[in-house]
Amino acid sequence: MLKFIGDAIETYVESARLILILGFIVFAVLLFPTTFFSYVVAGAGFVRYSNILTGSLDLPYAILLAFLSLFSLVCLAFLSVGATMAVKFRRSLDDMEFSKFVARFPKYVTRLTVWWIVLGAVTFAVAFSLNAINAPSWTSALTMLLIWAFFIFIPQSLVLHEKGFRAALRDSAKYCLKKPLAVLVYYIVTCILLFALVLVDVLFGQFFLSWVAAIINSAILFIFVIPFLEILKTNLFVTRYKLLLAGLK
């Protein structure tokens, strides 16, 4: 595990200029909706549901929230695709490949956004079903982790292999079943990074500066956490190829 983490750090540092630009763009674009329409805790964004609970959610506001949610997914897909390609360009960068990447970038972002919408719909359906039968909370959490595991490497399959929608899911699920330790490594690193974001929340919360923690966590999330996790996933994903495995050692 430490080998892959070290390689991900090395790739992040070598691609820092590209990643910082992409991360800062997403952070700047999402700063307004994050501040006024949601709140951030430990790097996770939550919509403010006060209007929904009081019954004052009108149609224009609902449309605005739906648009902001979709726009946020597009921005995150934009960042994930860029971070994934950083690993590929680290190993094989030429003018032709770069030109192809730029031309296909919108297609990658669109496909990944659609898959995240699908994942959200599946998550909602499963959570609703488990809640309807009064399933224990630990059962729901474990079920979600298992479902999400099959979607983890979809960005890598979409970008590196240029798979279609169903083929990308099959490719990601096949890799997860073949390399369950890769999924475990990803979950462990994610938990460690989220714990660090929790510490930021707690630290600033002691001084009643939760809004500062929200902004700092958003910056850390978009500039470091998400790109780093995508780079880590890509490094894990390409270990299926013996020729590339030597480049990860």
SS3 234: helix
**Sign for the pseudo-dihedral over CA of 26, 31, 36, 40:** positive
Helices marked H in 92-225 — which ranges?
95-132, 137-151, 154-160, 165-178, 180-205, 210-220
Give the range with max mean pLDDT: 2-11, 132-141, 179-188, 202-211.
179-188
Contacts of residue 162, defined as CB under 8 A and 6 or more positions apart, other chains included, come to: 104
Place of tokens 């270990």: 239
Give the range with max mean pLDDT: 82-96, 107-121, 155-169.
107-121
CA separation for the pair 77, 71 (Å, rounded)? 10
* pLDDT of 84: 84
Q: Is the per-residue pLDDT at 223 higher than 70?
A: yes
Per-chain mean pLDDT for the chain:
76
Token reading at 40:
């951030």
**Up-side HSE of residue 191: CA atoms within 13 Å toward CB?**
7
Token reading at 85:
């390609």
Of 27-36, 136-145, 208-217, 219-228, minimum mean pLDDT range:
27-36
pLDDT for 81-95, tens place per residue? 888 887 777 655 555
Q: Is the per-residue pLDDT at 207 higher than 80?
A: no
Taking Cα atoms as reference points, which of 81, 92, 84, 109 lies closest to residue 233? 84
* pLDDT of 95: 55
Q: What residue type is 242 in one-letter code? A: K
Q: Is the per-residue pLDDT at 170 higher than 70?
A: yes
Q: What is the CA 205 to chain-centroid distance, rounded?
A: 26
Taking Cα atoms as reference points, which of 79, 78, 68, 81 lies closest to residue 32? 68
Cβ atoms of 34 and 218 closer than 8 Å? yes
Q: What is the CA 4 to chain-centroid distance, rounded?
A: 18
DSSP letter assigned to residue 44: E
Largest CA-CA distance found in the chain, in angstroms, rounded: 59
* pLDDT of 27: 78
* pLDDT of 71: 79
- Residue 38 parent element (H or E): strand 38-41
pLDDT for 4-61, tens place per residue? 788 788 888 887 787 888 888 887 777 655 554 444 444 344 444 444 444 455 667 6
